[in-house]
Copies of this chain bind each other. A is one copy, B any other.
Amino acid sequence: MRFASDNTSGAAPEVMAALVRANDGYDRSYGADAIMERVTVLVRETFEAPEAVVHLVATGTAANALAIATHCPPWGAVFCHSHAHVAEDECNAPEFYSGAKLVLVPGDHGKMTPETLGAALARTGESGVHGVQRGMLTLTNVTEAGTVHTPAEIAALTALAKAHKLPCHLDGARFANALVATGATPAEMTWKAGVDVLSLGGTKNGCLGVEAVVLFDPAKAWELELRRKRGGHLFSKNRFLSAQMEAYLSDNLWLRLAAQANAMGQRLAKGLAAKPGVAQAHPVQANMQFPNWPEGSHARLEAAGAAYYRFPAAPGREAARLVTSWSTTEADVDAFLAAF
Contact residues of A with B, CB < 8 Å? Answer: 2, 4-5, 7-11, 16, 19-20, 22-30, 57-66, 73-75, 88-93, 95-97, 99-102, 104, 127-133, 203-204, 208-209, 223, 225-237, 239-240, 307, 327
Contact = CB atoms under 8 A, between A and B. Distances in A.
Identical copies in the complex: 4
A80 to B, nearest CB: 13
A240 to B, nearest CB: 4
13 contacts: A8-B26, A10-B26, A30-B128, A61-B234, A66-B232, A75-B91, A93-B230, A97-B232, A104-B104, A129-B226, A204-B236, A209-B236, A231-B231
Contacts of A27: 8, 10
A208 B230 contact: no
Contacts of A4: 28-29
Contacts of A65: 232
A253 to B, nearest CB: 16
Given A27-B8, A203-B237, A229 B20 contact: no
A79 to B, nearest CB: 15
Contacts of A28: 4, 8
A307 B26 CA distance: 11
Contact of A91 (B9, B66, B91, B226): B226
Contact of A59 (B7, B20, B99, B232): B232
